[in-house]
């Protein structure tokens, strides 16, 4: 089983560049924002139709116990929604999350067809999952109310999934974008026609939209040395040229003459996203970070904002996954 996790880790690093991010870097900054949908490669064989692609239960491998259990679709999605999106969000946003989570599970099930499980609870590779005990602990006296709310949303969209060219999509999602979502090609090096930048201005209203990381010159130098850089001379001269995507994600930043990727810097400096600016002032280095997560696919905060403005779950999903269709599976 250890070999299985080693393989999953390699897949994550290669395909996701997620820093502990996921295809699903979900929920809120206080959680992990690294949720993950970290998926990487498309399923090998596309099912002939939506009904054939459906699944009423999933074999779920617990990341902690290393044991698997079979859960009904509703029970699995309840655990995922509880872990990946605040239960206080609007019902239409929660419905959109339920569809995205189910679709992602179908995508991963197809990828794991040769494994003894369909999906894991390791949020750095798959989707986070909160069992009944964890939900009670997290929600306290609101547990019964929140569970009823989530189950109602799950049942309202039960069996509905996102498809592109007759196959379930890689339904990546994240907590908060930088105002525009990012393309999968920029983040993971692989293009998906439905994972492209889109406007998500509601994210700018999030109290967690901006964050800052401040380091002394000595601390900054130590981090750079760990990355293979050789910081010498004037500290202000450490910062070289940066290359960013149109959405603001750092593709490459040259520091002390060494080109580093945004993913490397996000990991090394524990940044909420790879959408950042770096400055030096009064002996301190400052990272000004926008958003939370990899920025690909649906922004959860953005989805909630759209729901507050009156958008239904279908409209939300079509906004964040352009060109995809909603289909009913078995």
Spatial distance between the Cα atoms of 36 and 230, rounded to a whole number of angstroms: 33
Residue from 294, 324, 36 nearest 186 by CA: 294
- What distance, in Å, lies between the first and last C-alpha atoms of the chain? 31
> Could you give the count of Cα atoms lying within 13 Å of 293 in the half-sphere of its Cβ?
42
Percent of the chain with pLDDT over 90: 83
Q: Which residue is it, tokens 């239904």? A: 312
pLDDT of residue 225: 97
Residue from 45, 184, 14, 195 nearest 112 by CA: 45
Confidence tier at 50 by pLDDT (50, 70, 90): low
Residue from 158, 48, 139 nearest 101 by CA: 158
Spatial distance between the Cα atoms of 232 and 242, rounded to a whole number of angstroms: 19
Query: What is the per-residue pLDDT across 70-102, written as a single tens digit (0 to 9) for each?
Result: 999 999 999 999 999 999 999 999 999 999 999
Give the H/E segment covering residue 179. Answer: none
> Could you give the count of Cα atoms lying within 13 Å of 106 in the half-sphere of its Cβ?
33
Paired strand residues for 278: 287
Query: What is the per-residue pLDDT across 217-252, written as a single tens digit (0 to 9) for each?
Result: 999 999 999 999 999 999 999 999 999 999 999 999
Residue 107: is its pLDDT beyond 90?
Answer: yes
């Amino acid at each position: 089983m250890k070999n299985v996790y080693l393989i999953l880790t390699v897949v994550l690093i290669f395909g996701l560049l997620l820093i502990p991010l996921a295809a699903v870097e979900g929920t809120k900054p206080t959680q992990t924002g690294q949720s993950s949908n970290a998926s990487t490669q498309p399923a090998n064989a596309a099912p002939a139709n939506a009904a054939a692609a459906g699944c009423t239960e999933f074999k779920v491998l617990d990341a902690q116990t290393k044991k698997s259990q079979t859960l009904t679709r509703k029970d699995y999605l309840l655990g995922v929604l509880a872990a990946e999106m605040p239960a206080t969000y609007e019902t239409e946003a929660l419905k959109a999350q339920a569809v995205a989570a189910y679709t992602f599970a179908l995508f991963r099930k197809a990828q794991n067809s040769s494994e003894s499980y369909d999906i894991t609870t390791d949020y750095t590779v798959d989707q986070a999952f909160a069992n009944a005990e964890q939900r009670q602990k997290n929600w306290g006296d609101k547990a019964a109310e929140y569970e009823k709310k989530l189950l109602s949303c799950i049942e309202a969209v039960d069996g509905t999934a996102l498809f592109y060219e007759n196959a379930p999509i890689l339904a990546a999602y994240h907590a908060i974008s930088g105002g525009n979502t990012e393309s999968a090609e920029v983040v993971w090096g692989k293009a998906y026609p439905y994972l492209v930048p889109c406007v998500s201005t509601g994210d700018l209203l999030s109290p967690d939209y901006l964050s800052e990381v401040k380091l002394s010159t000595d601390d900054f130098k130590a981090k750079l040395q760990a990355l293979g850089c050789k910081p010498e001379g004037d500290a202000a001269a450490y910062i070289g040229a940066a290359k960013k995507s149109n959405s603001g994600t750092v593709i490459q930043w040259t520091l002390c003459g060494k080109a580093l990727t945004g993913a490397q810097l996000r990991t090394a400096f524990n940044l909420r996203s790879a959408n950042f600016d770096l400055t030096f002032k009064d002996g301190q280095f400052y990272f000004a970070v926008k958003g939370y997560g990899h920025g690909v696919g649906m922004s959860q905060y953005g989805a909630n904002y759209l729901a507050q403005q009156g958008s239904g779950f279908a409209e939300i999903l079509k906004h964040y996954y352009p060109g995809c269709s909603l289909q009913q599976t078995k």
